A and B are shown apart, each in its own frame.
Chain A
Amino acid sequence: MANNGPCLIRMEGVTKVFFTDEVETHALSGVHMEIHKGEYVSIAGPSGCGKSTLLSIMGLLDSPTDGKYLLNETAVEDLGLSDRARIRNREVGFIFQSFNLIGDLNVYENVELPLTYRGMPSPERKQRVQQSLERVGMSHRVKHYPSQLSGGQQQRVAVARALVGEPAVLLADEPTGNLDSKNGDAVMDLLRELHRTGSTIVMVTHDARFARYAQRTVNLFDGRIVDEGEEQSTAGAPSAAGMA
């Protein structure tokens, strides 16, 4: 293990089966996995291997068909919808490939949204949102709507939204998939910077170039972990010159 901090995510024999009519599709088969606080893990594998399903279960967007899942030492595999929503709001920050900003909310409102659902008072929300946007370099665009931003800017806003609630873990699903290489690099630099400041990051990517940013890569194939290894160094990873 690359990190000896306390265990944040522990999965034991996690299985996910999708049932469509009479067809069973095994997306995950007995996945065992541990991720420690402060770790930067990438999950790689070919298309359809179960990467996104694994990330969804980690982020409590989905629940396993079988197996155990402990998040921050709490068993979460059998929680009800409202408990999962609450834990998701407090412990997990999502960064999606397609940014998933709400088009009818401006930058400020998008970033504020998780805190609103947390029931945080408005002055504290305001402070946190500003800090978060400053951290990703988007504090000058608070009134803009997503459609008025470039892809790179949208993803930075999405990162700010993921960070604003100070979650235990950031889950990034192909965060560069919709970006050109320059903006992709910049986002990866941003994640690396977050990792340096203590964030735990789990990233799904099929791009080996970006997987190298992580400390550890988990390779999936047909719903099973087939290989797990530590990256040699992240120092040689390309650095972002800037984002559009």
Chain B
Amino acid sequence: MGALFQDLKFGLRMLAKNPGFTAVAVLTLALGIGANTAIFSVVNAVLIRPLPYKDPGQLVLVMERLPTITPKPIPLPAPDVVEFQRDNLTFQNVAGFRSIHMELSGGEQPQLISASRVSSTLFPLLGVPPLLGRTFSTGEDQPGRLVAVLSYGLWQRQFGGDRDALGKTVILNRKSYTIIGVMPRGFKFPLEGLLGGDPADLWVPMGFTPEELSDVGDNFDYGAIARLKAGVTLPQAQADVSAIGKHILDGYPAWVRGQFQLSAVAVPLRQMVVGRVEPLVLVLMVAVGLVLLIATVNVANLLLARGTDRQKEMAIRIALGAGRARLFRQLMSESVLLGLAGGACGLLLASWGLRLLVSLVPVSMPHAGDFSLDSRVLCFTLALCVLTAMLFGLAPGLAATRTTLNETLKEGGRSSDQGHRHHRLRGMLVVAETALALMLLISAGLLIRSFLRLLNTTTGFDTQHVLTLTLDLPQAKYQSGTQVVSFYQTLLEHLSAVLGVQAVGAATSLPIVNTNWNHLFSVEGHQSVPGEKMPLCWHALVLGDYFQALHIPLIRGRFFNSGDRPGSMAAVIISKSIADRYWRGRNPIGKRLKWGAPQDKSPWLTVVGVVGDVKQQKLTEHKSFHTYQSYLQVPQYWNNGLGRSMSFTVRAAGDPASLAAAARASVWSLDKDLAISHLETLRAGVNRSMAAQRFNLILMAVFAALAVLLASTGIYAVISFSVAQRTHEIGIRMALGASRPDVLRLVVGQGMKLAVAGVLLGLIGSLAVTRFLASLLYGIQPRDWVTFVTTPVLLVLVALLACYIPARRATKVDPMVALRQE
């Protein structure tokens, strides 16, 4: 113990004695360890920390699969939730839930908040008791029960944490709801991104309405969460839900059974929450691990260089009887001290980096707000410090203990043979770090090019100069469909009258921003080939100059007009992709299609126009079918959930953001209590859909920049040290007639050999690893040749600069001085 203390004391003294070396090594490690700590805090929050419920491993989501429509499992129609609740044999309980938005009024300004309709069984199933009051009783699982449980956050915001809030009321969608409970701090349901929902600010009873319960095979919008019975395994639960799924499908009409191929699955909740972000987080962890590896190699290189200067000290210690293990331990103690110092500074950097991460992270990332340097992260950092120290201390430690005693102890004190060995080892390390840096640079290059493709992708509509806002008219005030349509038409007129507005339209959903409605459809006269599935299209009801406001081009026929009214011919506008698929080379105007199968009772819709293809859900998707109907022609939707909510698009002559105040005033001039959501430019809404890609890109670019910086510093350090060691040799060469360009070539050549070797190795490594990025790329291949050519060239240029600086110094060697200093 005393000897260890002595080693540490000496180690500290050595670090203090070489402040330049210590500062560079600590900073290098701090960058690597800090970046790893920050990313690990994301891994910890997202992948490691258990979900905030009791025994979360027992929780599953019951979902359905419609492979003809989407390969991913989807939520359920309301009647199916009831079937799973009633007929299952393997669950303690099944709770239904649905994320909604509710207007919260009665305060200074109405606001739209995230809410969740939930079964009364949800809270007991999750195993989280309320902080105050109670959760829902079975009797409240009925439509029209006006009670609410508040989240801790909303309780703090609206009631300042007042315990007397229990029993008070909140105005939701213009109805008074009694507060019966408050959930504890940190409780979230649903978790971010679960079935596309946000964590709710409050919960209200599910209370399925008769209309919802009659939606057999339609509106797959309801989540079902279940807890396994004790001793039940996932496969057993899977078999159970499969049997129920089959029973559900048997109840569907024959034509639907053929089209749907419905099956049911039980998916672990954790997989649903984190499964989609796991690859991204792991890619980042690997990337940041590479940065640390480069930092480690750099510090190892610095230690090797310093080891050359300490050869004599090591030789003396060995001569005095120090065993190699003892010496190794001493050097490792110094390395661990360096590692810990780097880790301490890294923690500082990580705490800053975390703030940046939180601001960049996509909102759909689970636990996005929970990134923190908790005890697990601190343990990880400590372990990382020690492991890193072992890694960077290993080679220099072993090299130092292999000192050639005879030569080293003589006058001059440095073994030339050992110098060469060290030099070779340093060269190999530089090759390795250059290779790692190139792998990161190529990965970042691929993501940058992918993101540029995404930015330049054709959406099919013009995102510039458009302001959007979304409204959801509460049924308590707008009880009839006529009131709803009247409000929206009046608002359309008001907005059109605002100075600077060129066109105003509205739709039940906006592409990319909040697309939410799709239909299976049949084309009149189309003869399906065996095995051909019924096509699916995204659908929206539009009002006013929607197409003009978004600059969606009319390719054939006409837009909707005042003649498209209830009772007139049911008109539909289709996307070019539908026209190309079903009426290629023919005029689709006047042709007909309908929702569902041809024998379905829904009316035929006549195509009156063809418009350009518009990306619907995400920028990365390929063309998808989509259709539009005039809002004014479908009164059956005015008074339901789909038609009550409309998103307005306001095309401005100038900056659309400048119209926000006027748009808000227009809405509130009609209804001062109406909450407005997504009052933003369309560009901002579309940009939000790229948040995940932007997050990847920024982090990978930062890591790649760090890697290049560290690698070039490594090359610089090695060449610089080599020049210092070869001063005498350079002096001899110059004395023998070498010109300055000769010396420049000699030194730069030495460095570039290492850089080129590293680049070649890095290219091979990149070819092997970039395939793992495939799922994060858009529009380019993982082996995109442009990236594979440009990034190595960039790295070689940086390496050239790193070599040139010490090489210039070498050319300034005075042969007279150099020859005197053997």
> CB within 8 Å of B: which residues of A?
52-53, 56, 59, 61-62, 81-82, 85-86, 88-90, 94, 96-98, 100-105, 113-114, 116-119, 122, 161, 165, 173, 177-178
Residue of B nearest to A178 (CB): B411
Residue of B nearest to A118 (CB): B321
* Beta-carbon contact of B10 and A104 below 8 Å: yes
Shortest beta-carbon distance from A180 to chain B in Å: 16
For A117, the chain B residues whose CB sits under 8 A away are 317, 320-323, 326
Given A85-B321, A117-B323, 17 other A-B residues pairs in contact with their CB atoms under 8 A: A53-B406, A59-B319, A61-B318, A85-B324, A88-B320, A88-B321, A94-B319, A98-B411, A98-B413, A100-B413, A113-B320, A117-B317, A117-B320, A117-B322, A119-B3, A161-B320, A173-B409
Shortest beta-carbon distance from B331 to chain A in Å: 13
User: A85-B323, A104-B14, A122-B2 in contact; A61/B405 too (CB < 8 A)?
Assistant: yes
Q: List 14 A-B contacts (CB under 8 A).
A: A56-B405, A61-B318, A81-B324, A82-B325, A85-B322, A94-B320, A96-B409, A97-B410, A104-B17, A116-B3, A116-B6, A117-B317, A117-B321, A178-B411
Residue of A nearest to B14 (CB): A104
For A53, the chain B residues whose CB sits under 8 A away are 406
* Beta-carbon contact of A52 and B319 below 8 Å: no
Interface size in chain B (residues, C-beta < 8 A): 27
User: Residue A89 contacts which of B6, B17, B315, B320 (CB distance < 8 angstroms)?
Assistant: B320
CA distance A101 to B317 in the complex (A): 10
User: A104-B10, A104-B14, A104-B313 in contact; A98/B410 too (CB < 8 A)?
Assistant: yes
For A59, the chain B residues whose CB sits under 8 A away are 319
Shortest beta-carbon contacts, A-B, top 7: A89-B321, A85-B323, A61-B405, A114-B320, A117-B321, A100-B316, A117-B322
Q: Does chain A have a CB within 8 A of B312?
A: yes
User: A62-B405, A97-B411, A119-B3 in contact; A102/B323 too (CB < 8 A)?
Assistant: no
CA distance A138 to B580 in the complex (A): 100
Shortest beta-carbon distance from B117 to chain A in Å: 72
For A161, the chain B residues whose CB sits under 8 A away are 320
Query: Chain B 754-783, CB within 8 Å of chain A: the 1/0 string?
Result: 000000000000000000000000000000
Residue of B nearest to A98 (CB): B411
CA distance A52 to B6 in the complex (A): 33
Shortest beta-carbon distance from A84 to chain B in Å: 9
Shortest beta-carbon distance from B19 to chain A in Å: 14
Shortest beta-carbon distance from B168 to chain A in Å: 72
Residue of B nearest to A89 (CB): B321
Shortest beta-carbon distance from B448 to chain A in Å: 48
CA distance A83 to B41 in the complex (A): 48
* Beta-carbon contact of B406 and A114 below 8 Å: no
* Beta-carbon contact of B406 and A52 below 8 Å: yes
For B413, the chain A residues whose CB sits under 8 A away are 98, 100
For A102, the chain B residues whose CB sits under 8 A away are 313, 316-317
Residues from 281 to 316 in B contacting A, C-beta threshold 8 Å: 312-313, 315-316
CA distance A113 to B322 in the complex (A): 9
* Beta-carbon contact of A100 and B312 below 8 Å: yes
CA distance A231 to B621 in the complex (A): 99
User: Residue A104 contacts which of B2, B13, B319, B410 (CB distance < 8 angstroms)?
Assistant: B13
For A89, the chain B residues whose CB sits under 8 A away are 320-322
Shortest beta-carbon distance from B308 to chain A in Å: 15
Residue of A nearest to B313 (CB): A102
CA distance A119 to B322 in the complex (A): 10
User: Residue A86 contacts which of B3, B321, B409, B410 (CB distance < 8 angstroms)?
Assistant: B321
Shortest beta-carbon distance from B395 to chain A in Å: 19
For B315, the chain A residues whose CB sits under 8 A away are 100
* Beta-carbon contact of A114 and B321 below 8 Å: yes
CA distance A98 to B3 in the complex (A): 27
User: A116-B3, A116-B6, A117-B326 in contact; A100/B321 too (CB < 8 A)?
Assistant: no
Shortest beta-carbon distance from B571 to chain A in Å: 90
